[in-house]
Amino acid sequence: MLAAVLAAGDGEGFHAPGIEEFYPGALLFEGTIFEINRIMLVRFVMVALLALFFILALRRAKLVPRGLQNVAEYFLDFVRLHIAEEILGKGAARRFLPILTTFFFMITALNLAGVIPLLNIAGTSLIGTPLVLAIVAWIVFNYAGIKAQGFGPYMKSNLLPSGVPLYMAPIIVPVEFVSTFILRPFALTVRLLANMMAGHLILVLFFSATNFMFVEAGSALLAPVGVLTLGAGFAFTLFEILVAVLQAYIFTLLAAVYIDLASHAEH
């Protein structure tokens, strides 16, 4: 009976969200390299809001922080103490703290767009941004390794670890090359992208179902189900906020780990 009601309403029934959610139409400059769609607009908005947050928080910085300054300094200290210094040590942390801080705050802001009304989609839910961030992390950790060891020793320590006999080189070198230079940026990209795509689809599913149950189906029988989907959507929204920050933390932490590994010959 429930299936029959779901197929009723406007005659078309309920349609679950699909991959087309991530390919919205152009808003500006359609057909050019400067084309702006909804996801690009979300990215611009969140970067602007992030910049505004720090301008307001730190424009009149005081020795004893209060309000927005306190929030900004708390998260800045979190990245410094619990990611940069914990993984890299105080000396190296100073060098790489700017890029690690940028990773954390930018990813957090873009992820949180998925739960902000009127935006409702994460700026990281399409591969472009996660891929660019992963490539930047790849450049940084390779730069750190080459600067610390020199190009030759760096490549040797990554492709043929100490203690591995030369006759194993034809097997070990390709495996280590793929693991270090391909899988690391690939894993950074896919982990971030997949989590934010999945979160968006689940949120859209819950709230689309709620709208259908209350508005489109035209059946009182579905109202209790609508209450359930609304409650589930609200609960998952809170969970998605946690995931947004957690994914920023994991990406930044892994970038710091890769920098640390690259900077030392033995790993």
Q: Where are the alpha helices (DSSP H) in 80-183?
A: 86-112, 128-149, 151-159, 169-177
How confident is residue 14, by pLDDT bands cut at 50, 70 and 90? low
Q: Looking at residue 63, what is its pLDDT?
A: 74
pLDDT of residue 118 exceeding 80, the answer is: yes
Q: Looking at residue 121, what is its pLDDT?
A: 92
| CA count, 13 A, side-chain hemisphere, 79 | 27
Q: Looking at residue 9, what is its pLDDT?
A: 46
- 146-172 residue pLDDT tens: 999 999 999 988 888 777 788 788 888
- 253-263 residue pLDDT tens: 999 999 999 99
Distance, in Å, from the CA atom of 120 to the CA atom of 124, rounded to the nearest integer, reads 12
Please compute the mean of the pLDDT values over residues 134-148 and round it to a whole number.
Answer: 96
Please compute the mean of the pLDDT values over residues 19-28 and round it to a whole number.
Answer: 83
Please give the single-letter amino acid code of residue 243.
V
Q: Are 9 and 214 in contact (CB under 8 A)?
A: no
SS percent in the chain: helix, strand, coil, step 5 = 75, 0, 20
pLDDT of residue 64 exceeding 90, the answer is: no
| CA count, 13 A, side-chain hemisphere, 31 | 0
Q: Which residue has the higher pLDDT, 7 or 120?
A: 120
DSSP secondary structure letter of residue 24: P
Q: Are 67 and 56 in contact (CB under 8 A)?
A: no
Q: Are 129 and 116 in contact (CB under 8 A)?
A: no
Q: Looking at residue 5, what is its pLDDT?
A: 40
How confident is residue 229, by pLDDT bands cut at 50, 70 and 90? confident
| CA count, 13 A, side-chain hemisphere, 265 | 9
Q: Looking at residue 56, what is its pLDDT?
A: 92
Q: Looking at residue 2, what is its pLDDT?
A: 39
Q: Looking at residue 4, what is its pLDDT?
A: 39
Q: Looking at residue 167, what is its pLDDT?
A: 79
Q: Which residue has the higher pLDDT, 249 or 157?
A: 249
Please compute the mean of the pLDDT values over residues 104-109 and round it to a whole number.
Answer: 97
36 bridge partner residues: 28
Q: Which residue has the higher pLDDT, 62 or 123?
A: 123
Q: Looking at residue 26, what is its pLDDT?
A: 87
pLDDT of residue 207 exceeding 90, the answer is: no
Chain position carrying tokens 């009723």 = 8
DSSP secondary structure letter of residue 15: -
pLDDT of residue 8 exceeding 60, the answer is: no
User: Can you point out the beta strands (E) in the chain?
Assistant: 26-28, 36-37
Percent of the chain with pLDDT over 90: 56
Distance, in Å, from the CA atom of 156 to the CA atom of 122, rounded to the nearest integer, reads 40
Task: Work out whether strand 36-37 and strand 26-28 pair parallel, antiparallel, or are unpaired.
Answer: antiparallel
Q: Looking at residue 265, what is its pLDDT?
A: 64
